[in-house]
């Protein structure tokens, strides 16, 4: 297998000049008149091109039918002896919160009781509310904080809601729009971390001050109980409650970087006390008095990725002397993908070579015991809502060709039962899923999946879309997508997913291998997968396209600028692109732990080697990309996507661009917008990869 050509040195040449002399900084003015006129003009052009394609209407109709289908699984949220569900369909575009009994839920047609209608609330308030969920006070979970985002932004406002009266509480807690959150201490007390005014947000735009807010108290009179600093990423607080909902501890978290943090015990009788957790960790739950967490670094004799547990009483009594116990040590090709607690058990979703399994752990006098749940194999397992009243929990099972099914699991007895299943959205009878491995530049074996026709020709002719993300310890596990199947696979397309370093498929070490100065390894992994697809003659550069969003959008930008010879199409969704300025835009400062700090010369040098915006130069054979973003994205600045398009046009390359004026980081505020985005993407990919020759203008 021949080696890939080296990436262009253009990135380094352009980095210094464009960072200080960027002619497109005005496109960072999110809703400025000049920038929005530019957006509107590009939307008209790109929508005109894609929506006039004769295939768009069918693709859109298929996408809309699938995302709005009323026979999909209503995912359950167990609250006491009631099942809640948030639901969207053509009649409820923004959605409704509803509930039913466990017995009714398991029937073919549950009898739902309406609790909150977000469409009606939006009409009453004159706002485009996007439901961000509820935070409810255990054990009765009658009083909840409802989070509402205007247009899908990360920032939201929170209002107290009574699920019995099904009304917002008159004179109840109400927190104005902000990034941050709140948690209940008791019926009359919240811990709140919000924008409290000048000097209370970090450089990343997140709160670093936590206050105690009493019922009836104005927000500006809340008492400060904990703080970080403007140079940290954020601070927040959370409570630990036992199975009966009794408060066992109030903790605060200080995120020093995106991955490094501290945990502090908040006490009524004295100052906060820092608890002995590793700097990189994740708290997973409290069961049988055991506080379960993972360590994401080697620490105190434990290995990266270990699942550990402290006795909470001992930890509170004498933090310096408390010693954690090992619960689980994953193997080199394993990863803990999820952990949840029932009344008496700990349930762990363990990915084994990117295939799912679930285990029940029980704590006793002699430590922890483990049993495996008899769930389907060669599929992705996802842990859902768990009961505090019993040891029951819901689990979903799926793969690229296996529609989602919902299982009810009894962690006490080990009994598993399928209770719901989603109908097939596309004909998969002639399709197969295969796992391969590609050899990266340093010899690392990188797994990837290919989904396509069982009898596909091995002559390089198959139109193929390669999806990637490659960061933040996010695992790309096999999952069913009715739209990918219907809009692409069913008509002869091939879909591939790369499990590169930077992700979490093999635990924290797999992620950390591509952080900071080693980011190039993830890029090399992705290129190696593309090359392997071509070497196996599954596809060819003419028929190969790439797709990814957010960090995955950066991934696509790097792939397109470093190896344009491998691809003929690129869907770049809500991307990072200008890595010389990412830390100065919106939440970007919080991501320096992933990429590095461009203000530090040594780190700037390694970022400059791949930053796509600076790498764009005339004379390369870039594919005509489709780049899209959202005006309301308050996480990844839309200026990244806009400037990429402007730079491509400046140096003479055609590009398609679409910016949704609502939708936040998901680029869609409701199902209709989601269907439109999908139809645009797959119309573009059909034109670029399936057509025998490019369509005429």
Is residue 440 annotated as part of the catalytic site, yes or no?
no
> How deeply is 590 buried, as exposed, middle or buried, from its count of CB atoms within 10 A (0-12, 13-18, 19+)?
buried
Cβ–Cβ under 8 Å, residues 564 and 620: yes
Is residue 665 annotated as part of the catalytic site, yes or no?
yes
- 161 forms beta bridges with 144, 168
* Alpha-carbon span 396 to 405, nearest angstrom: 6
What are all long-range contacts of 145-150, with beta carbons under 8 Å and residues at least 24 apart? Answer: 145/173, 145/175, 145/182, 145/184, 145/190, 146/116, 147/181, 148/118, 148/121, 149/664, 150/177
* Alpha-carbon span 488 to 230, nearest angstrom: 46
Q: Per 3-state DSSP, what percentage of the chain is helix, strand, and coil (rounded to 5)?
A: 25, 35, 40
What is the distance of C-alpha 179 from the center of its chain? 17
Instruction: Using the structure block, give the residue that is written with the tokens 């957790």.
Output: 277
Residue tagged active-site, from 281, 388, 665, 666 = 665
* Alpha-carbon span 434 to 439, nearest angstrom: 17
Question: What is the 8-class DSSP label of residue 219?
Answer: G
Residue 153 CB: number of other CB atoms within 10 A?
A: 22
Q: How far is CA 644 from CA 24, 268, 547, 668, in A?
A: 9, 52, 16, 21
Residue tagged active-site, from 550, 590, 611, 630 = 550
* Alpha-carbon span 543 to 537, nearest angstrom: 11
- 381 forms beta bridges with 397
Active-site positions read 550, 665
């Amino acid at each position: 297998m021949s080696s890939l050509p080296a990436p262009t040195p253009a990135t380094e040449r352009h980095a210094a000049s464009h960072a200080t002399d960027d002619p497109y900084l005005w496109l960072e003015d999110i809703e400025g008149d000049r920038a929005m006129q530019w957006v509107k003009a590009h939307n008209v052009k790109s929508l005109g091109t894609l929506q006039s394609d004769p295939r768009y209407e069918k693709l859109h109709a298929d996408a809309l039918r699938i995302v709005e289908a009323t026979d999909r699984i209503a995912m359950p949220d167990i609250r006491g002896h009631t099942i809640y569900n948030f639901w969207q369909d053509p009649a409820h575009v923004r959605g409704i919160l509803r509930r039913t009994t466990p017995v009714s839920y398991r029937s073919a047609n549950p009898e739902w009781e309406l609790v909150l209608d977000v469409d009606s609330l939006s009409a009453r308030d004159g706002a485009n509310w996007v439901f961000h969920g509820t935070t409810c006070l255990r054990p009765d979970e009658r009083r909840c904080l409802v989070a509402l985002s205007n247009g899908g932004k990360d920032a939201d406002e929170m209002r107290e809601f009574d699920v019995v009266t099904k009304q917002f509480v008159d004179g109840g807690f109400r927190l104005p729009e902000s990034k941050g959150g709140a948690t209940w201490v008791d019926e009359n007390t919240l811990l709140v971390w919000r924008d409290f005014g000048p000097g209370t947000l970090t450089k990343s735009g997140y709160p670093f001050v936590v206050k105690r807010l009493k019922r009836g108290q104005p927000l500006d009179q809340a008492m400060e109980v904990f703080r970080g600093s403007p140079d940290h990423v954020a601070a927040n607080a959370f409570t630990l409650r036992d199975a009966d909902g009794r408060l066992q501890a109030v903790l605060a978290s200080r995120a020093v970087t995106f991955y490094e943090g501290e945990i502090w015990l908040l006490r009524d009788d004295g100052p906060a006390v820092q608890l002995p957790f590793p700097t990189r960790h994740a708290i997973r739950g409290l069961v049988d008095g055991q506080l379960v967490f993972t360590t994401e670094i080697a620490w105190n004799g434990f290995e990266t990725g270990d699942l550990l547990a402290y006795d909470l009483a001992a930890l509170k009594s004498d933090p310096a002397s408390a010693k954690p116990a090992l619960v689980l040590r994953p193997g080199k090709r394993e990863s803990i993908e999820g952990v949840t607690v029932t009344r008496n058990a700990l349930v762990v979703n363990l990915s084994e070579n990117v295939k799912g399994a679930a285990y029940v752990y029980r704590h006793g006098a002699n430590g922890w015991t483990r049993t495996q749940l008899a769930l389907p194999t060669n599929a992705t397992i996802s842990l859902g809502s768990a009961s505090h009243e019993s040891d029951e929990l819901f689990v979903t099972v799926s793969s690229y060709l296996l529609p989602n099914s919902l299982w009810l699991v009894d962690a006490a007895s080990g009994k598993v039962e399928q209770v719901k299943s989603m109908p097939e959205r596309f004909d998969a009878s002639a399709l197969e899923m295969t796992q391969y491995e590609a050899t990266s530049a340093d010899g690392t074996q990188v797994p990837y999946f290919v989904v396509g026709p069982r009898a596909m020709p091995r002559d390089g002719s198959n139109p193929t879309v390669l999806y990637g993300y490659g960061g933040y310890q996010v695992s790309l596990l096999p999952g069913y997508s009715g739209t990918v199947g219907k809009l692409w696979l069913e008509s002869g397309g091939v879909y591939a997913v790369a499990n590169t370093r930077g992700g979490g498929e093999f635990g924290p070490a797999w992620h950390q291998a591509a952080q900071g100065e080693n980011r190039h390894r993830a890029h090399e992994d992705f290129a190696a997968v593309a090359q392997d697809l071509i070497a196996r003659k599954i596809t060819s550069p003419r028929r190969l396209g790439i797709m990814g969003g957010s960090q995955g959008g950066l991934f696509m930008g790097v792939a397109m600028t470093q190896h344009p010879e491998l691809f003929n199409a690129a869907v770049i969704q809500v991307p990072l692109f200008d890595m010389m300025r990412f830390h100065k835009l919106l939440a970007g400062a919080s991501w320096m732990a992933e990429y590095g700090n461009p203000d530090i010369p040594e780190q700037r040098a390694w970022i400059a080697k791949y930053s796509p915006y600076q790498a764009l130069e005339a004379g390369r054979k870039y594919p005509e990309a489709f780049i899209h973003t959202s005006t309301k994205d308050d996480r990844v600045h839309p200026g990244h996507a806009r400037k990429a398009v402007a730079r491509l046009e400046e140096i003479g390359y055609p590009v398609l661009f679409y910016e949704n004026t609502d939708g936040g980081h998901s680029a869609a505020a409701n199902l209709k917008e989601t269907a439109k985005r999908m139809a645009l993407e797959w119309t573009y990919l059909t034109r670029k990869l399936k057509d025998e020759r490019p369509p005429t203008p």
